[in-house]
Amino acid sequence: MDYAPNTDAQLQEMLRTIGVGSFDELISTVPEDLHHRTLDAPSGLAEAQMITLGEQLAARNASLKEQASFLGAGCYHHLVPTVVDALASRGEWLTPYTPYQAEASQGTLQAIYEFQTMVCELFQMDLANASLYDGASSVAEAAALSLRVTERPRILVSEALHPHARQVVSTYLSGASAVLQEVPSVNGMTDLEALGKALRDDVACVIMQQPNVFGCLEDMGQAAQLTHRVGSLFVASVYPISLGLLQPPGAYGADIAVAEGRCLGSPPAYGGPGLGLFTATSALMRRVPGRLAGCTVDRAGRRGFTLTLQTREQHIRRERATSNICTNEGWLALRATIYMSLLGPQGFRELAQLNLEKAHYARERLLEIPWISATFDQPFFNEFTLTYDEAVKPEAVHRSLAKAGITGGLLLSDWYPLLSQSSLWCVTEVTSREAIDRLVDVLKKAV
Amino acid sequence: MAEPLIFERSVPGRRGYLLPPSDVPGFRADDIVPSDRLRTEPPPLPEIAEFDAIRHYTRLSQQNFSVDTHFYPLGSCTMKYNPKLNERIAALPGFAFLHPFQPAAQVQGMLALLYELEQLLCAITGMHAFTLQPAAGAQGELTGLKIIAAYHRRKGRRRSTILIPDSAHGTNPASAALSGFQVVQLVSGRDGLIDLNELKEKLTKDVAALMLTNPNTLGLFEREIKTIAAVLHEQDALIYMDGANMNALLGIARPGEMGVDLLQLNLHKTFSTPHGGGGPGAGPVGVVKRLEDFLPVPRVRKVGKRFRWEERSRASIGRVHGFYGNVGVLVRAYAYIRALGREGLMRANQAAIINANYLKAKLQPIFPVPFDDHCMHEFVVTLKALKTHGVTAGDVAKRLLDYGFYAPTVYFPLIVDEALMIEPTETESKETLDEFADALLAIEQEAKTKPDLVRQAPQRMIVERLDEVKAAREPNLRWKAGTFLFSPEGSTQRK
């Protein structure tokens, strides 16, 4: 199957119109010695064969739907309303591109405007862009924006920021003159005393995560205050679902707030595509990266929507652009828009409450087990860290869980060598009480 | 008819989705979380019924042109048909519902697919190794530039210049700048290709690499590419290829044999994954052997018959994505490559080139092609002759919408005055191309006889031409209660 409708007879006729005798004449501009007139790929498959192949590959994976998983750590499994899939799969949403011709793209543009508004409401921030790639690259773009705006060289990142986000920031900033400095954590929280000492007037921004990578709820208000005292920007990386209950970044004074937004109406999909949410104060409006949809009027004075402030962008400004981003994650942003509108204020609060309840129930039950203790004594939302007694081998415990169809929390030894006995557990509304109880039963017998 | 904002449909107390009831004992947030870390008011999102959402987002969708509904000849974006089969495969729970931290034993099918996709991309391009991590073409460019920097660092030197032709996509210089390089522009030769003398003149000891697009944004193959590569390699500078236009090369020539050191592919272009109104895309990066060590981590490895992630590599530039890249997009591209296979991909490529040249032949008698040669997958015409009638390329683009066609890329590449950059792709029929050519020729007549009609286009869309100056001068980037007065004929801003 090649999805190309023109028949051989038509192609021949078209070649005649072009005025060439053969296809080869058309590609005479490609030097002969570069010709490689084959493809080292297998032969094609009919639709039914491709479906079989796809299903066979998929069957070699253990889907989250057929197990109890307690993995989170930046990728969260949440319910996706049927309506999100039904609407988003329409070709009119799935198959256009960036709305350069605004008049023929009002659907996409109005949806982006609604998306920007909802993200602003959820975050309590002045403005949101049309999305970036994922949470990690949003953190990196926040760092780059801070460097540009403050013209200061140092960036402070909390050790309790997701290690992958820290790694992406480090990749993005490599080669630049910026200095990336880590602020240590104590008892699962960013060490605010250490932060205070590290904050000098050469600091462009401080980047913290809420809830942090250990699931603990940081004192973002105090951190933001310390940061602003020396004129640095405060960057918060947040978990959108938690904002049904937790203080939004705008309320504690974040200058830039970012998030991984995949959890809003899209499946985990092995971690990608993600949805980079990027919000900022209005002071930063003309410096932010990415597309922005704006409201304007047409010639007849009617309301309409268009991409705006494009002089920040690469296709206009080239090497002086605020970012190189072009394609973002529009389709996931649409899904998030539909998702947030379905949930509404009440649904969002209930969702966050459900996550909080189930996670606290799970931790309470897990702490019944004598060889398990809480790693940190801190408030949390739907993720928490547990430590096994020294005598217990975490890998062995998690292998026996796997045999029972349960994927245990993420072992933290790779990220934090000092936490070699600890693991990070996540419980969402998807997790049933039965799954939690079964987990506890299996664990009780595992050691 | 205009559609209100979803907020304007909101009715207090309405619900669009019900969550399952709690099955665990109640925990009150107030008892658990310090009050200063709690939200005081629920987020003011719209309150709507499920059916409100269906009507609203269905109606909005109908205000879009899309590949599924309209010919979408946006140059350099390869807006080909996005097979429904790929959507079906990507939605299988065994792909869509995987967590990135599941142990390798639980995701062998996924890893096998990713590994095989890397191998296929290597075979198609002639490169030695690929990373699938970059989330879009521009992130692929960034990844490539980081690799270029790392290569020169390993050689114990710092080079800070990237050469970029003036015909390049805007992302090229933006990516170079974001990576800490300084950009030196190469003026294209009279044939629209890279001018070897210009290249040699600007090739100082500080040049880290040349970024070029092949075929370039005029749709022309860089005939001298092997010489260009040789000239760069003599200075130990690298050659980066923007593979946005790879649809032109499948089964004809491979960048690996052209002397290209590294490139990015745009799977949402060449390999048919949907553009989604602006993403997600995927921008895998392929490299020659001597650059393999610098690829981002983690990398998928095959050990015996098993697959696993390798997290560490000393020379790697590090991570560019939170997890493994846009996997959902990668699954679609894999399904596309396997379904078409060798013969299908080659036939698609031939049809794409024939379609482009055919449309060019139909239009050329009226619209000059400034850099004329057989084109590859796309071509650029200039509308500067219409200027005497006061009609611009932008006007013609808007008028095309009235004829039921999305507009080609306008005013790009920058080296062509009043440019229309047209890429029909292989999935359009001859009939559609004929209709499109007829429409453009009719508009050309209108421009001469009824220029106002063209200048005032579009007339048949949901809105007339939008005031972009106002949008930029008085930025309104979010709705606030009470700012609009909605009416079905079109809302106006409340003064």
Instruction: State the CATH number of the domain containing residue A75.
Output: 3.90.1150.10
Rg, chain B, Cα only: 25
Angle, helices B430-449/A8-18, rounded to nearest 10 degrees: 40
**Reported ipTM:** 0.98
- For residue B493, pLDDT beyond 60: no
Closest approach of chain B CAs to the CA of A399, in angstroms? 10
pLDDT band at A226 (very low <50, low <70, confident <90, very high): very high
* pLDDT at residue B418, rounded to an integer: 96
pLDDT, one tens digit per residue, over A279-309 is: 999 999 999 999 999 999 999 999 999 999 9
CB atoms within 10 A of CB B41: 10
C-alpha B441/C-alpha B212 separation (Å) is: 33
What is the rounded average pLDDT of the residues A8-29? 96
CB atoms within 10 A of CB A82: 11
Residues 6+ apart with CB under 8 A from B278: A97, A98, A99, A108, A130, A131, A291, A327, A328, A329, A330, A331
- Write down the mean pLDDT value for chain B: 95
- For residue A311, pLDDT beyond 90: no
- Give the domain extent around A431: 64-79+345-446
* pLDDT at residue A129, rounded to an integer: 98
Query: Does A69 share its domain with A87?
Result: no
pLDDT band at B495 (very low <50, low <70, confident <90, very high): very low
C-alpha B340/C-alpha B83 separation (Å) is: 11
Nearest to residue B17, comparing CAs of A34, A87, A310? A87
Q: Which of A38, A324, A426 to mutate to test the interface with B (most CBs of B within 10 A)?
A: A324
Residues in chain A with CB shorter than 8 Å from the CB of B40 are 251
Nearest to residue B115, comparing CAs of B279, B298, B268? B298
C-alpha B72/C-alpha A2 separation (Å) is: 19
Q: Quick check: is B430 in a domain?
A: no
Query: Does A431 share its domain with A370?
Result: yes
Q: Quick check: is B385 in a domain?
A: no
Query: Does A273 share its domain with A146?
Result: yes
Q: Find, in chain B, the residue whose alpha carbon is nearest to that of A89.
A: B87
Cα–chain-centroid distance for residue B346?
22
φ/ψ (deg, to 5) at B282? -155, 140
The answer to whether B174 contacts A323, with C-beta atoms less than 8 Å apart, is yes
What pTM did the predictor assign?
Answer: 0.97
pLDDT, one tens digit per residue, over A318-360 is: 888 888 888 899 999 999 999 999 999 999 999 999 999 999 9
How many distinct structural domains can be found in chain B?
1
CB-closest option in B318, B329, B493 to A303: B493
What is the rounded average pLDDT of the residues B300-305? 96
Q: How far is CA B393 from CA A308, B418, B443, in A?
A: 20, 5, 11
Cα–chain-centroid distance for residue A427?
18
Query: Does A204 share its domain with A335?
Result: yes
Contact between B78 and B266 under an 8 Å Cβ cutoff? The reply is yes
Query: Which of residues A284, A308, A340 is at a domain's end?
Result: A340
Q: Quick check: is B187 in a domain?
A: yes
C-alpha A326/C-alpha A276 separation (Å) is: 13
* pLDDT at residue A378, rounded to an integer: 97
pLDDT band at A383 (very low <50, low <70, confident <90, very high): very high
Q: Quick check: is A26 in a domain?
A: no
> Does a cis peptide bond (omega within 30 degrees of 0) precede residue B298?
yes
How many distinct structural domains can be found in chain A?
2
CB-closest option in B60, B374, B467 to A28: B374
The answer to whether B253 contacts A34, with C-beta atoms less than 8 Å apart, is yes
- For residue B485, pLDDT beyond 70: no
Amino acid at B185: Q
Instruction: Work out whether the CA dihedral A344, B48, A84, B427 comes out positive or negative.
Output: negative
CB-closest option in A113, A221, A246 to B39: A246
Closest approach of chain B CAs to the CA of A109, in angstroms? 9
Query: Does A316 share its domain with A362?
Result: no
Query: Does A159 share its domain with A283?
Result: yes
The answer to whether B99 contacts A414, with C-beta atoms less than 8 Å apart, is no
pLDDT band at B197 (very low <50, low <70, confident <90, very high): very high
Q: How far is CA A88 from CA A265, B2, B462, in A?
A: 10, 20, 21
pLDDT, one tens digit per residue, over B241-266 is: 999 999 999 999 999 999 999 999 99
What is the rounded average pLDDT of the residues A364-389? 98
Residues in chain A with CB shorter than 8 Å from the CB of B61 are 87, 90, 92-93, 107
- Give the domain extent around B207: 86-339
A241 three-state secondary structure: helix
Q: Quick check: is A33 in a domain?
A: no
- Write down the mean pLDDT value for chain A: 96
Query: Does A331 share its domain with A431?
Result: no
The answer to whether A247 contacts B37, with C-beta atoms less than 8 Å apart, is yes
Q: What CATH number corresponds to the domain at position A201? A: 3.40.640.10
Residues in chain A with CB shorter than 8 Å from the CB of B24 are 357-358, 361, 433, 436
φ/ψ (deg, to 5) at A192? -70, -25
Contact between A183 and A191 under an 8 Å Cβ cutoff? The reply is yes
C-alpha A257/C-alpha A181 separation (Å) is: 20
Query: Does A285 share its domain with A425?
Result: no
Contact between A10 and B357 under an 8 Å Cβ cutoff? The reply is no
pLDDT, one tens digit per residue, over A246-270 is: 999 999 999 999 999 999 999 999 9
Token pair 């790694």 is at which residue? A167
Residues in chain B with CB shorter than 8 Å from the CB of A341 are 6, 16, 45-46, 48, 53, 56
Q: Quick check: is A114 in a domain?
A: yes
Contact between A75 and B101 under an 8 Å Cβ cutoff? The reply is yes
User: In sequence order, what DSSP letters do the residues of A343-373 get, joined into one string?
Assistant: HHHHHHHHHHHHHHHHHHHHHHHHTTSTTEE
pLDDT, one tens digit per residue, over A178-212 is: 999 999 999 999 999 999 999 999 999 999 999 99
CB atoms within 10 A of CB B216: 26
Q: Quick check: is A2 in a domain?
A: no
> A120 or A176: whose pLDDT is higher?
A120
Query: Does A299 share its domain with A319?
Result: yes
Closest approach of chain B CAs to the CA of A205, in angstroms? 18
Query: Does A413 share its domain with A323?
Result: no
Query: Does A207 share its domain with A161?
Result: yes
Query: Which of residues A311, A340, A369 is at a domain's end?
Result: A340
Q: Quick check: is B413 in a domain?
A: no
The answer to whether A271 contacts B456, with C-beta atoms less than 8 Å apart, is no
Query: Does A186 share its domain with A307?
Result: yes
The answer to whether B484 contacts A340, with C-beta atoms less than 8 Å apart, is no
Q: Quick check: is A421 in a domain?
A: yes
Residues 6+ apart with CB under 8 A from A260: A74, A75, A134, A135, A136, A138, A239, A274, A275, A276, A277, B322
Q: What CATH number corresponds to the domain at position B289? A: 3.40.640.10
Query: Which of residues A281, A307, A340 is at a domain's end?
Result: A340
Angle, helices B108-125/A47-59, rounded to nearest 10 degrees: 130
